[in-house]
Amino acid sequence: MKLSVLIENESMSPEFHKEHGLSLYIEALGKNILFDFGASPNFIENAEKMKVPLKDVDFCVVSHGHYDHTGGIKAFTELNKKAKIYIRHEGFSDFYAHENDGRVVYIGVDKSFFDLPQIVFPPQRMEIMKGVEIFSGVKGSLMNPPGNSQLFIDKDGDQSLDDFAHEQSMIITENDKTYLFIGCAHSGIANIMEQYYKERKAYPDFVLGGFHLFREEGDPDNSELVISLSDYLKDKPSKYYTCHCTGLPAYELLKERLKDQIDYQYTGLQINL
């Protein structure tokens, strides 16, 4: 498997765009897979610099219905008209963030994307092809991200806490190794891994994506949670590549405790796993 980080919050080099968003290009099982679209079309320019042929993408998976993972969808479909885009139907709901300064900000998908012919609404469990599965509907209360308390869904004018029914993860199995791709792990990375274990009786060999541990200005300290999470992760046989919403302060604490078991996925990174 080869992984190319097309965009995320930080960059390996000034030549690459960076933004609060995520897009990963995966070469596995003879297919080219795009996982998330960043917050804007910037990932496309990065892909060109990295010699990643987006026109050859076979299919795409959207981790959840927030703008920072879906903003580049329309621009992608202008380059590639064949690749199906798997996004939960709930991903087109009305999502809002309640900011610390009192603002209420829309953070959902551009509704004009709903009718794009490449959009596919999968069920909670689906095998896209042999070796590639997506799943959603994760429940649990193990070390849930505190930032979830500021994320809401609007239904007919009434806002309630987001239940993240729109969040899905992807599993790729290749050469007897399993790779778990997550977007922001709003459902809680520990809960996602426990759901994985419940269904497979084993933990993944690799976990790739954000853990939603970043703190906005004015947020309470979450180092105790990060330490507890590091203890949970260290006990598992997995190798972690995190990024985006984990936040660099949380990553540095995780790195201090997990050592070589965890690394960061900067924009521009291309690695063979």
Q: Helix %, strand %, coil % for the chain, to 5?
A: 30, 30, 40
Is the distance from CB of 46 to CB of 65 less than 8 angstroms? no
3-state secondary structure of 151: strand
Tens of pLDDT, residue by residue over 48-91, are: 999 999 999 999 999 999 999 999 999 999 999 999 999 999 99
Residue 21 confidence (pLDDT): 98
Tell me if residue 56 falls in helix, strand or coil. helix
Please give the Cα distance from 246 to 211 (Å, whole number).
5
Residue 192 has phi, psi (to 5 degrees) of: -65, -45
Indicate whether 217 pLDDT > 80: no
SS3 assignment, position 155: strand
Q: Does domain 2-272 have CATH number 3.60.15.10?
A: yes
Pairing of strands 168-174, 177-181: antiparallel
Residue range 232-247: mean pLDDT, rounded: 97
Angle subtended at Cα 144 by Cα 139 and Cα 146, rounded to the nearest 5 degrees: 140
Residue 199 contacts by C-beta under 8 Å, 6 or more apart in sequence?
135
Instruction: Give the phi and the psi of residue 131 in degrees, each rounded to 5.
Output: 100, -5
* Alpha-carbon span 186 to 188, nearest angstrom: 5
pTM: 0.97
